[in-house]
Amino acid sequence: MYRAVTNGIQVTVEPFYLADQSSPEEGSYVWGYTVEIVNLGDVPVQLRRRHWLITDGNGQMQEVEGPGVVGEEPVIKPGEAFEYSSGCPLTTPSGIMEGAYLMELPDGRMMNVSIPPFSLDTPNRRGFLN
């Protein structure tokens, strides 16, 4: 499990390898990950955008950004959490993901919230740090 706290917003990520969706012999590896965002602060925040940096085992980087997550722009009230799951395909048996969420405060100001870097490793590569 990987965790980061930025300005009272805690982001926890748990990645997992999806062997049933992967085809290593064809150079296709797929991971899922579950993200929990907890508002430890005093005011509600709304998740407006996501920005991911995905680096494969060969050092090739891809950027992914867009509105919300999984089709939602949730409002997370103080003391509440929002959880979602998504996935990431790679052509290498390992990689790393990291990024940030753009959150809107009640007064309209925006703040970046870090998504902790997390390692994507096939089970036989467990313990390999990208």
For position 123, what pLDDT does the model report?
85
Query: Which superfamily does CATH assign the domain made up of 1-117 to?
Result: ApaG domain (2.60.40.1470)
Instruction: Spell out a b/e string for 92-119, using b for 16 or more CB atoms within 10 Å of the CB, else e.
Output: bbbbbbbbbbbbbeeeeeeeebebbebb
Backbone CA torsion sign across 14, 49, 59, 20: positive
Give the chain's mean pLDDT: 94
Q: Residue 130's pLDDT band (boundaries 50, 70, 90)?
A: very low
> Is 129's pLDDT higher than 70?
no
Q: State pTM to two decimals.
A: 0.91
pLDDT of 113 strictly over 90:
yes
Domain ranges of the chain: 1-117
pLDDT in tens, 28-77: 999 999 999 999 999 999 999 999 999 999 999 999 999 999 999 999 99
Share of the chain above pLDDT 70, in %: 95
